Structure 1
Amino acid sequence: MAKVYAQVSAVVFLIVGVVGFLTPSLGPLKFSALHNIVHLVIGAWGVHAGFMGGQPKQFAQVIGVVYTLVGLLGLVAPSMLGGIGGVYVLIHLVFGVWGLYAGFFVKEGS
């Protein structure tokens, strides 16, 4: 499960990072250069973890913790993170909780 999480995350984050440089917004989503770079770095780490044998469980754990915290902060104190809310909170919580599950609760080889 952690390997699949890393692979899916890699593809999604790389696409979002590239699209963010091509267009400053996509529907309700707004992209900044820093945000795009963060997505590309996470995507590259996901490629390493998911496709090149580089510790997918650790990737899922770290991204799961960070994205869950960002999502929760977006719920309780959105101004701390530049005013994120709505769809941003949902996206961060989905990737965060899925990462926590894949990284901490699914046994290796499952």
Structure 2
Amino acid sequence: MTANTTSAHTARSSVQIVSGIFGAVFLLVGVLGFIPGITKDLDTIMFAGHQSQAALLGLFQVSVLHNIVHLLFGVVGLLGLRSGRLAKTYLILGGIVYAVLWIYGLIVPMESMGNFVPLNTADNWLHFVLAVAMVTTGIVFGRTVRKVTRPAL
């Protein structure tokens, strides 16, 4: 073995970092949705449907299904740390999913059986913000997906 042995360290691109940040936040939100005190009326949580009165931070209506979706979005976002292409795809497609959820939440009456996620007004507008933020960051930071290599210390 020689003293000149080196290994390359690959830095993550901006789009990967943004994907990781979104993923970590979604993972945190998914976990917090199951914690009493942080989620108000957690004892009323349902698997799905508008009857769930549990509210994350007392504001965002959640259900077990809603929390599971956040956890899954979190895992996929963190997987984006591995690949610039996956990160860009996650941000853009995830943003489109949130845009669809925003429109769905505006169209479907909150007390109907169609509101199975469940969604309330706060959720709807958060979904709009997430849609814009995810698509925008996916496009802006995903323009040049490149890996920067630097020598290990």
Bin the TM-score by the shorter chain: 0.7 to 0.9
Residue 14 of structure 1: CA displacement?
0.7
Q: Deviations over 1:41-98 (max 9, x none)?
A: 110000010x223611100111011001111221233444346232101111111111
Alignment of 1:63-74 (within 5 A): 63-74=94-105
Q: What's the secondary structure of 2:34's corresponding residue?
A: helix
The residue aligned with 1:22 is 35
Residue 3 of structure 1: CA displacement?
2.8
How many Å separate the matches in 2 of 1:56 and 1:4? Answer: 8
RMSD: 2.3
TM-score scaled by structure 1?
Answer: 0.81
How many Å separate the matches in 2 of 1:77 and 1:108? Answer: 38
The question of whether the paired residues in 2 share the 8 Å contact of 1:78 and 1:84 is answered with no
How many Å separate the matches in 1 of 2:121 and 2:103? Answer: 12
Q: Which amino acid aligns with 2:144?
A: E
Give identity over the alignment, percent: 30
Task: Please state which structure has a larger fraction of its residues in helix.
Answer: 1
In structure 2, the CA distance between the partners of 1:5 and 1:92, relative to structure 1 (3 Å rule), is farther
The answer to which of 12-21 and 94-103 deviates more is: 94-103
115, 118, 141: which one aligns with 1:81:
115
The residue aligned with 1:102 is 137
1:13 aligns with 2:42: no
TM-score scaled by structure 2?
Answer: 0.61
How many Å separate the matches in 2 of 1:59 and 1:20? Answer: 22
Structure 1, unaligned stretches of length 5 or more?
Answer: none
The question of whether the paired residues in 2 share the 8 Å contact of 1:78 and 1:85 is answered with no
In structure 2, the CA distance between the partners of 1:104 and 1:78, relative to structure 1 (3 Å rule), is farther
Q: What's the secondary structure of 2:33's corresponding residue?
A: helix
The question of whether the paired residues in 1 share the 8 Å contact of 2:61 and 2:123 is answered with no
Task: Please state which structure has a larger fraction of its residues in strand.
Answer: 2
